[in-house]
Structure 1
Amino acid sequence: MRLRDVLRAAVVVAGAPAAVAAQDANFLLPVAEIHSILREGEIEVIDVQPSRGLPGERTYRVTLQSGDRVLQIKYAPAGEGADEFNNRPRYELAAYAIQGLFLDEPEWIVPPTAIRALPLDVVRATVARAGDSTVPPEPTFGDWRMTLVALQYWLFNVDLPEDLPDRDLLAEDEVYERLLGNFNLFTYIIRHSDSNRGNFVQSLDPAWPRVFSVDNGVAFASEESDRGTRWRDLRLDRYPVSAIDRLRGVTLEQLQARLGVLVQFEIREGNFTEVEPTENLDPGRGVRRGAERIQLGLTESEIRAIHRRIVRLLEWVDDGRYGLIP
């Protein structure tokens, strides 16, 4: 299928009321369906471009087809070992998981995100379509011809915010205040440490001006970015009571159970296939390898740091340092 035909199909999907009715303005498909496609769907790559339109980038904007669905994704191959600065797939997946602990789906901050273990030749062929200057990906683990790739849905109907926060809108729009409060709680909890322009985008829907975090690779225990850490801290005067109340119920044991093993792959018929997680192979490491098994998750120390930040937040709220949005 030619790209022109694919884009025409995407427009048809976007214009189909049945496909969009249950979604907000930023998703052309139900979130659960997007996530299923990213995790396990049969995908055909139609077009590949550098994410920001510049050659030599490490992430790509990929148009793909899965069955009769057409969507665009961010495609980010891991480096060797899958645990280098600003390229830790496990951090992207952890960020996607954490929002569900205290937010309902219409308020989520991170678009659907998954990790696939793809044959090296497939990843190299995909990346090569972006241009001759692109550096070919290497095996994530040298003795296996496989590359881990973080996949994230490419949002529709968003733009870079001119100001974040928009102080005028914050003063007059309670919906924006609530959504921005959720966003800031999220960036604080994950310790987002990269304020690079382009990491945050805002919906163009005036009725639901949600702010998304679309790059969460510099977070948790990561080194800081040289672009600043503006949203690593709490920056607003008050936060939604619904989110705060749900955070009160989050225990260290729940965090360990949810984040300790985020995804697991095992060799099945010569290929790495996602399987149900088993016992954590090594809580002190984020990337774990067995003879024919790979686990990705947060380390014990990273999880404990999340819990400490939540406890500190609740203490500050209870002490009156921050107000609550009813």
Structure 2
Amino acid sequence: MRWCKLLVAGVTLAVPAVLAGQDPNFLLPVAEIGRILREGEFEVLDIRPSRGLPGERTYRATIQSGDHLLQVKYAPAPEGGDEFNNRPRYELAAWAVQKLFLDERDWVVPPTAIRALPLDVVQATLAAAPGDANLPPEQTFREWPMTLVALQYWLFNVEVPEELPDGDRLEEDEVYERLLGNFNLLTYIIRHSDSNQGNFVQSTDPSRPRVFAVDNGVAFSSEESDRGTRWRDLQLDRYAASAIDRLRTITGEELQANLGVLVQFEIRNGNFVEVEPTENLDPGRGVRHDAQRIQLGLTDSEIRALHRRIVRLLQWVDDGRYELLP
């Protein structure tokens, strides 16, 4: 594999270059990125506020896992693991929902995972970020000195679009229309309620101008943002038939099975590790735990509301309100 140079905190590091035929927004296969985020051992080489301002809630970190170098969004959870604009379970749910109706090459949420990290490790990591007003991490649960941290792959070769949608391109470029439609289907289904600039980015690849949703913490049953909620609604006239056909096959039972328990941790040798989900400890709560386990997922009511949005969308299609792209 060819390598290129990346300058991080004054140190020149080697990262794999994009090869012909490789997705320019990902420097590793998506499956390998997901594995590293979920379970890989990693070292944080550099960390700084996501938008370059001190006191931010999220950070941009450069991590090394074995021979792999990645940049990620690093977002510690609040106490209790759930508050407005900081709900890691919503970030993970958005990542999971897209996989129910889109193929991997069309996914619009970058690989996302949640880790249960020792509190002292997270404290030391954030202490290395520049600035005098960095927010100290909170202990997620009083019972254990640990913090849940949401990790999301930081995309390459993307930019914040000046205009979304680009009306002229929408009329002339069916590939753009299809990719934007996939993005919009996801934002509608998850009820994305924060159109803040920077929450959506677009690939600079002219042949595949995919639009990504990179901040999905204000969604589902969340309160809405004061930055607008445009993409909570369907904005286009046509959507890909393949995505609509996949949505038709989704049942309420499948949604419960996939979204009720998104991730589960258990104590092993004094640390929390991710394990295969067991029974839902409390379907009425999104964050659940007992003496040995932690679960994050959507609540029953959130899943039912999501299913209703899908059913409503399909009815609109059948009524002719939206056309299908072959």
- Normalized per residue, the structure richer in helix is 1
- 2:234 is matched with 234
Deviations 1:24-73 (A, max 9, x none): 11000000000000001010110001000001001000001000111100
Contact 1:46 1:64 in 2 (8 A): yes
- SS where residue 96 of structure 2 aligns? helix
Q: CA deviation at 1:119?
A: 0.2
Counterpart Cα distance in 1 of 2:133 and 2:221: 32
Alignment-mate amino acid for residue 100 of structure 2: L
The 5-angstrom pairing of residues 88-237 of structure 1 reads 88-131=87-130, 132-237=132-237
Alignment-mate amino acid for residue 26 of structure 1: N
Q: CA deviation at 1:6?
A: 6.0
**Which blocks of at least 5 consecutive residues in structure 1 are unaligned?**
none
- 1:75 is matched with 74
Contact 2:9 2:46 in 1 (8 A): no
TM-score, normalised with respect to structure 2:
0.96
- 1:272 is matched with 272
- 2:3 is matched with none
Change (3 A) 1:7 1:262: farther
Q: CA deviation at 1:143?
A: 2.2
- 2:13 is matched with 8
- What's the RMSD between the two structures over aligned residues? 1.2
Counterpart Cα distance in 2 of 1:121 and 1:293: 20
Alignment-mate amino acid for residue 286 of structure 2: G
Deviations 1:209-245 (A, max 9, x none): 0000000000000000000101000111111100000
Q: Which moved more, 1:44-53 or 1:126-135?
A: 126-135
- SS where residue 8 of structure 1 aligns? strand
- 2:41 is matched with 42
- SS where residue 221 of structure 2 aligns? coil
- SS where residue 14 of structure 2 aligns? helix
Alignment-mate amino acid for residue 138 of structure 1: E
Deviations 1:118-149 (A, max 9, x none): 00000011111113310211100022100000
Change (3 A) 1:6 1:257: farther
What is the number of equivalent residue pairs in this alignment? Answer: 319
Counterpart Cα distance in 2 of 1:173 and 1:269: 55
Change (3 A) 1:5 1:135: closer
Q: CA deviation at 1:292?
A: 1.1
Contact 1:6 1:70 in 2 (8 A): no
- SS where residue 206 of structure 1 aligns? coil
Change (3 A) 1:22 1:123: farther
Q: CA deviation at 1:8?
A: 3.2
Counterpart Cα distance in 2 of 1:237 and 1:202: 20
The 5-angstrom pairing of residues 50-89 of structure 1 reads 50-89=49-88
Give me the identity figure in percent: 77
Alignment-mate amino acid for residue 113 of structure 1: T
- Where does structure 1 differ by over 2 angstroms across 4 or more consecutive aligned residues? 2-8
- SS where residue 9 of structure 1 aligns? strand
The 5-angstrom pairing of residues 292-311 of structure 1 reads 292-311=292-311
Alignment-mate amino acid for residue 115 of structure 1: I
Alignment-mate amino acid for residue 295 of structure 1: Q
Counterpart Cα distance in 2 of 1:183 and 1:169: 16
Contact 1:22 1:30 in 2 (8 A): no
Counterpart Cα distance in 2 of 1:36 and 1:310: 30
- 2:4 is matched with none
Counterpart Cα distance in 2 of 1:225 and 1:175: 30
Counterpart Cα distance in 2 of 1:229 and 1:71: 31
TM-score, normalised with respect to structure 1:
0.96
Counterpart Cα distance in 1 of 2:114 and 2:228: 27
Q: CA deviation at 1:7?
A: 4.5
